[in-house]
Amino acid sequence: MSKEFIFLSELIERRRAVYPPFYRPEKIDKNLIIKILKNATWAPTHKRTEPWRFAVLTDTALQKLSAALMQYYVQNTSQELYAEAKHKKSGERPLQSACVLVICISRSSDSVIPAWEETAAVACAVQNMWLSASALGLGAYWSTPAAIKTLPKALGLPEDWECLGLFYMGWLKEGYPLLSERRAVDDVTIWLDS
Ligand SMILES: Cc1cc2nc3c(=O)[nH]c(=O)nc-3n(C[C@H](O)[C@H](O)[C@H](O)COP(=O)(O)O)c2cc1C
């Protein structure tokens, strides 16, 4: 087995969803963010449509995102269900992160390509970013709250960008448990030999 395969397998297995309370407060160098985005853009796409789009939020833009998430909570929670603590919590994660990448899609006008294929291509790009972040020692995770549909407008993104989630990133605190489990390959596979 090649060293490359062993290295890649370990990297894939070690990648975890790491949440912002487990990030250290230091910033991430802009050049490093660009390298992560570059790896994202090497994802495969049917007909090479490259439908992914990203907005990079750092510094005060993170406060803007926090405010947008909090506003969504207020506008979409009935008076009976409203809780001050939940309201505050809804905007907490961007402020605990060094950088948030707003994962967007600009769908191709080519009607031959089904929408799911374009979405799948963006998911491939996100996995590239996630593995890259993990290899760099960054904690990261893909978040998909209902509020994401309001974000292109709230953040002033181009009109044809649809938001598929938020990719939170920050330097990983020591001691975060990187272990997880998966079902056995046999449980999810059927072999057909004839
Ligand atoms: C498309 C997608 C959407 C996700 N959305 C959320 C989310 O909204 N909130 C969350 O806590 N985790 C979210 N996750 C992360 C998963 O919870 C996480 O990957 C899963 O628990 C497995 O953990 P692991 O990635 O550490 O192996 C999402 C993952 C994917 C692929």
> SS3 helix, strand, coil % of the chain, rounded to 5?
45, 15, 35
CA dihedral 126, 132, 137, 138 (to 10 degrees): -30
Closest ligand 1 atom number to CA of residue 182: 27
Cα atoms in the Cβ-side hemisphere of radius 13 Å centred on 21? 3
Quickly state the pLDDT bin for 178 (edges 50, 70, 90).
Answer: confident
Quick: pLDDT tens for 46-98: 999 999 999 999 999 999 999 999 999 999 999 999 999 999 999 999 999 99
Domain boundaries, the chain: 16-62+97-172
Compute the distance from residue 141 Cα to the ligand 1 centre, in Å. 7
Mutation choice for ligand 1 from 142, 149, 164, CB with most ligand atoms inside 8 A: 142
Closest ligand 1 atom number to CA of residue 145: 8
Compute the distance from residue 194 Cα to the ligand 1 centre, in Å. 37
Compute the distance from residue 144 Cα to the ligand 1 centre, in Å. 8
Q: pLDDT averaged over the chain? A: 96
d(CA 116, CA 109): 14
Compute the distance from residue 116 Cα to the ligand 1 centre, in Å. 19
What's the whole-model pTM score?
A: 0.97
What's 16-62+97-172's CATH class?
alpha beta
Compute the distance from residue 14 Cα to the ligand 1 centre, in Å. 15
Q: What is the model's pLDDT at position 167?
A: 99
Q: Which residues contact 167 (CB under 8 A, 6 or more apart)?
A: 100, 101, 102, 103, 126, 129, 130, 140, 141, 142, 143
- Most distant CA pair in the chain, distance: 61
Atom 31 (ligand 1) nearest CA: 142
Atom 21 (ligand 1) nearest CA: 17
Closest ligand 1 atom number to CA of residue 17: 26
Of 14, 6, 3, nearest to 131 by C-alpha is 14
Closest ligand 1 atom number to CA of residue 126: 31
Quickly state the pLDDT bin for 154 (edges 50, 70, 90).
Answer: very high
Of 60, 55, 69, 59, nearest to 28 by C-alpha is 59
